[in-house]
Amino acid sequence: MHRAAQSVKKTMETLEVTLGGRTYPLTLSPEEVQTVREAAAAVEQQISDLKRQYAITDRIDLMAMAALQIAVQSKSQRPPEASSDGGPEWPQGDIDSLLQRIHSALDR
């Protein structure tokens, strides 16, 4: 008896995140939604903290400094595993996917 091959389609969701006063629509898998929501909230909190601590009002400056601070925190909390050549090992597919989503959101 032959079973028909069933194609499993991954359900995607659209999530709108607001960063620095701008809204960015993102298409994500259901598993990514909560993580992205939490990440966006962390960025917004970092932006609020920077506004309070410094006389920065430019949205791009605030977002850049927030991104830098979050990246530094991330690096100091969890160092990447070393690859065979001694460099950091990052999942390239994840990085490419996130970069593509960011570029798509910025092009809108």
For residue 28, give the nearest of 44, 43, 16 by alpha carbon.
16
Euclidean distance between CA atoms 77 and 82, whole angstroms: 15
Over residues 1-34, the pLDDT tens digits come to 444 444 445 789 999 999 988 999 999 999 999 9
- pLDDT computed for residue 73 by the predictor: 79
Domain of 64 in residue numbering reads as: 12-79
Over residues 53-74, the pLDDT tens digits come to 888 888 888 888 888 888 887 7
Tokens linked to 19: 């960063």
Could you tell me if residue 21 is inside a domain?
yes
First to last CA, the chain: 50
Euclidean distance between CA atoms 92 and 80, whole angstroms: 13
Q: How far is CA 70 from CA 29, 32, 39, 48, 75, in A?
A: 23, 19, 10, 13, 9
Beta pairing, strands 22-28 & 81-82: unpaired
Could you tell me if residue 1 is inside a domain?
no
Could you tell me if residue 29 is inside a domain?
yes
Could you tell me if residue 47 is inside a domain?
yes
- pLDDT computed for residue 100 by the predictor: 65
Domains held by the chain: number: 1
Could you tell me if residue 108 is inside a domain?
no
- pLDDT computed for residue 4 by the predictor: 45
